[in-house]
A = this chain, B = another copy of it.
Amino acid sequence: MQKSIEVCLTPALLDLYSIEDRVVVVIDVLRATSSMVYGIDNGATAIIPVAQVEDCLNYANEGFLLAAERNGEVVEGYDFGNSPFSYSREKVNGKTIVLTTTNGTKALHLARNRAHQVVIGSFLNLEALCNYLRVQDKGVLLLCAGWKDKFNLEDTLFAGAVVRELRKDFTHFDDSSVAAEDLYALAKDDLRNYLHKSSHSHRLAQLNIEEDVKFCLQLNICTTIPVLIGDSLVALEVGA
């Protein structure tokens, strides 16, 4: 069969893609999807992505951790935002987290009702993710969360890393896959240095989260793939 990979460079373009028979990988590597992967890998029972900050309050009395980020910062009054260091085993093991972020949770919500399946990608679980996608009999859409509906470099680089890994296993690649793969080839030997050229890098430097960025650009320190089941992200049981 023919298996295709396409890259949707921002959520604003998602309506152009047919995803009913595809696995959609949501990508917001700085920092939402990295934190999701790390949190589930560290034993979080579930992460519930919600669209609005106010939606978190619906879960206030259920004993869940409440996480809210807007414009890169923790929203006042919330347990934490989307720094991966907040998703360590000691903080999240056995817990359910309700999370809203500027870009990542929006992308998730756009894809959830139409896609065959929605999974979460980051550099932290690149290899595990690719091993999974490789053996499915489905096409793949790599959905970059971007920054407020605009293109960003970091998510595109990760999409390119996936394309590069799966080049031999898929037969059709769209133009954005080709571009993402070539950009990743340019950047891969020093992702942090390459991202210093990006506008997001300036935003992030202002937020003092250089350590977060360094953490999120690590390859393959997690083996878990979060998958959306109903309203919640949980660990995908590979082989199930």
Contact = CB atoms under 8 A, between A and B. Distances in A.
A57 interface: no
A198 B178 contact: yes
Given A175-B200, A179-B156, A183-B182, A151 B12 contact: no
A176 B150 contact: yes
Contact of A9 (B9, B147, B182, B199): B9
Contacts of A13: 10, 12-13, 149-151
Contacts of A182: 183, 186
Contacts of A200: 175
Interface residues of A, number: 26
A238 interface: no
A168 interface: no
A12 B12 contact: yes
A92 to B, nearest CB: 31
A57 B27 CA distance: 46
Contact of A183 (B12, B183, B197): B183
Interface string A196-214: 0111100000000000000
A151 B9 contact: yes
A174 interface: yes
A153 interface: yes
A152 interface: yes
Nearest to A10: B13
Nearest to A148: B16
Nearest to A201: B175
Given A156-B179, A183-B182, A186-B182, A150 B16 contact: yes
Interface in A30-85: none
A153 B151 CA distance: 15
22 contacts: A9-B9, A10-B13, A12-B13, A13-B13, A13-B149, A16-B148, A150-B174, A150-B175, A151-B174, A151-B176, A151-B179, A152-B175, A153-B175, A174-B199, A175-B198, A175-B200, A178-B198, A179-B179, A182-B183, A182-B186, A183-B183, A186-B186
Given A173-B199, A178-B197, A179-B179, 13 more contacts: A9-B151, A12-B16, A13-B150, A16-B149, A150-B175, A150-B176, A153-B179, A156-B175, A175-B199, A175-B200, A178-B198, A179-B183, A183-B183
